[in-house]
Amino acid sequence: MTPRQMSEHQAIIIGLSAVVVSVDDGEPKVFIVRGAEHALSVGVHPTNEEGDALPFGPFEPEKHSTLEAGLRAYVTEQTPLHPGYVEQLYTFGNRGRYAGQAAENHRVVSIGYLALTHQARMRQTEKVFWGDWYSYFPWEDWRLGKPKIINDVIELGLKRWVALADSKEEKNHRRTRADLCFGLDDIPWDEEKVLERYELLYEARLVYESIRDKGTKVDYVLVPGRSMLYDHRRILATAMGRLRGKLKYRPVVFELVPPEFTLLHLQKTVEAIVGHSLHKQNFRRLVEGSGMVEEVSGKKSAEAGGRPAALFRFRKEIVYERPAPGMKLSPSIL
């Protein structure tokens, strides 16, 4: 078969997906477009469900000057937002990624982007709204300690999956993966392994998408958490892990706060993203000593239930002074 014949037999559709993140009152949010009416128009049709999805659409070379320009256009069309910071995450091209795909001769390759904004307050409807990102990944929120869902549901489900392995070697491999991903058997929790944890639950058929995609039924309890259309929860997991890691070596957290902020506001924003609590005084010393912020002279802000607090702003010069300015964080010890 010639390359031309191959191209006639299998069309490649490039989709652009946006994970738009904000933090509102200390809670991390991701922008959701509900329903499938904004699905890719060629070779992919809406499923019977009307679920949560990320803003997305097909790349149109004659219309979009660049991939990012196309992505920004879809965010503007499908949301009331105009995010500043945008970075490309990953290219997702697995076969059969989209339930409802019309034919195997159409391969959907989606390029995911991470976009950050502090524009959380806006008019929302049942179709377009800010979704709590921990409602999609409830096992990722450790701000009040280890989530009960890990012991009560996930660990039991993974033990069942390990026991179903065909060989001793496979059982050991599965058990090691479970321990490393979910911090079992006294292994430390790694907040950046968001995608690895989701993919493990998908492989173990413990999340709804894996049951939906494989067309199977199960007689055990699935792990709670809001599902998403297509593989958008996988794209969201990729973005969460990337952002958690990025905070440590790039000043991206300042894209999620207003131009002037208190250190408490900044701390709550960081905690919301990384998913664990931080020691207040240690965080203050770290931030003030980092050179990333400067106090706004003569201005105060009244924190709820407290005395007026100093306002700070991001020092943009830090990106020229240090090669990797970020938050070197560790969980608080209580």
Q: Spell out, as residue ranges, where the chain has pLDDT lower than 50.
A: 1-7, 38-48, 100-103, 332-334
Other CB atoms within 10 Å distance of the CB of residue 153: 20
Residues in CB range of 185: below 8 A, 6 or more apart: 179
CATH of 3-136, one of 3.30.1360.120, 4.10.80.400, 3.90.79.10, 3.40.50.10440: 3.90.79.10
**CATH code for 254-321?**
1.10.10.10
| Cβ–Cβ under 8 Å, residues 260 and 313 | yes
Return the pLDDT at 106: 66
| Cβ–Cβ under 8 Å, residues 178 and 200 | yes
Return the pLDDT at 5: 45
Give the three-class secondary structure for 252. Answer: helix
Return the pLDDT at 172: 96
Residue ranges of domains in the chain: 3-136, 138-224, 254-321
Task: Read off the pLDDT of residues 205-260 as tens digits, 9 standing for 90 and up.
Answer: 999 999 988 888 888 889 999 999 888 999 999 999 999 999 998 999 999 999 99
DSSP 54-98: -SEEE--TTT-SSHHHHHHHHHHHHSS---SEEEEEEEE--TT-S
pTM (global) more than 0.75: yes
